[in-house]
């Protein structure tokens, strides 16, 4: 189910809508610099993430971001994102789902099969696994989020346990809702 979901344009459309909401919430606060009070203007980055469906429209290949409009300040403000993951060149949903599938340890989702399906290099996938295995469990983001979900979620099985938590009890059709909720949850842990 998850491997099919990664290729559904509807998932990215839903995530893009969430990114817009996260961006609006940041924009209304104005410039983040203390005592500036400048208005934030759009100053997006254009991106070309890999691993998703080819049919994704150009309008969604944008990392929403802002810049203070006040001369002499121009402070940048970038909201959290459910579509993009830091500077990684793959969609966040591809990173999270691929890592979770590998953690399931099923023959059909071996490292070789996953890298062929989604087109990333083996070393890229290994880097993501190292991130989820060694960096993410000790990160501030996870420290903020940890207490908001079940204690059954094991730090050694992230992101799989977290994704399972959001997919629990959901039918195949509701998979999109579960994945979206999981990514939204992760984005909420970012300090902004």
Which residues are at the interface with Zn ion (CB under 5 A)?
Answer: 31, 33, 36, 38, 68, 70, 73, 75
Least separation in angstroms between CB 54 and Zn ion: 39
CB of 69 to Zn ion, least distance (A): 8
- CB 167 to Zn ion: min, Å: 41
Q: Which is nearer to Zn ion, 37 or 110 (CB)?
A: 37
Cβ proximity to Zn ion: between 1 and 73 the closer is: 73
- In whole angstroms, how close is the CB of 21 to Zn ion at the nearest point? 23
Half-sphere exposure of 4 (CA within 13 A, CB side): 6
Least distance from Zn ion to the Cβ atom of residue 192, Å = 16
Residue number, 36 or 89, with CB nearest to Zn ion:
36
10 vs 25 by CB, closer to Zn ion: 25
Measured in degrees and rounded to the nearest 5, phi and psi for residue 66 equal -135, 165
H/E run at residue 40: strand 40-42
Q: Which is nearer to Zn ion, 33 or 190 (CB)?
A: 33
Q: Which residues contact 165 (CB under 8 A, 6 or more apart)?
A: 149, 150, 152, 153, 182
Q: What is the secondary structure of 42-102 as a DSSP string?
A: E-PEE---BSS-TT--GGGSEE--EEE-STTT--EE----SSB-TT-SBBHHHHHHHHHHH
d(CA 23, CA 45): 13
């Amino acid at each position: 189910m998850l491997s099919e979901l990664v290729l559904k344009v509807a998932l990215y459309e839903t995530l893009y809508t969430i990114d817009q909401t996260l961006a609006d919430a940041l924009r209304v606060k104005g410039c983040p610099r203390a005592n500036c009070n400048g208005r934030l203007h759009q100053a997006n980055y254009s991106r070309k993430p890999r691993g998703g469906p080819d049919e994704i429209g150009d309008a969604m290949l944008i990392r929403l971001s802002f810049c203070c409009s006040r001369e002499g300040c121009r402070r940048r403000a970038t909201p959290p994102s459910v579509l993009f993951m830091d500077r990684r060149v793959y969609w966040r949903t591809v990173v999270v789902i691929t890592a979770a599938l590998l953690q399931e340890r099923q023959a059909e989702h071996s490292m070789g099969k996953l890298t062929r399906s989604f087109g990333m290099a083996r070393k890229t996938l290994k880097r993501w696994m190292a991130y989820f295995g060694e960096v993410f469990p000790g990160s501030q983001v996870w420290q903020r989020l940890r207490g908001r979900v079940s204690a059954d979620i094991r730090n050694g099985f992230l992101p799989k346990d977290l994704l399972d938590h959001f997919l629990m009890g959901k039918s195949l059709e509701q998979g999109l809702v579960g994945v979206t909720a999981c990514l939204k949850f992760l984005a909420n842990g970012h300090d902004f």
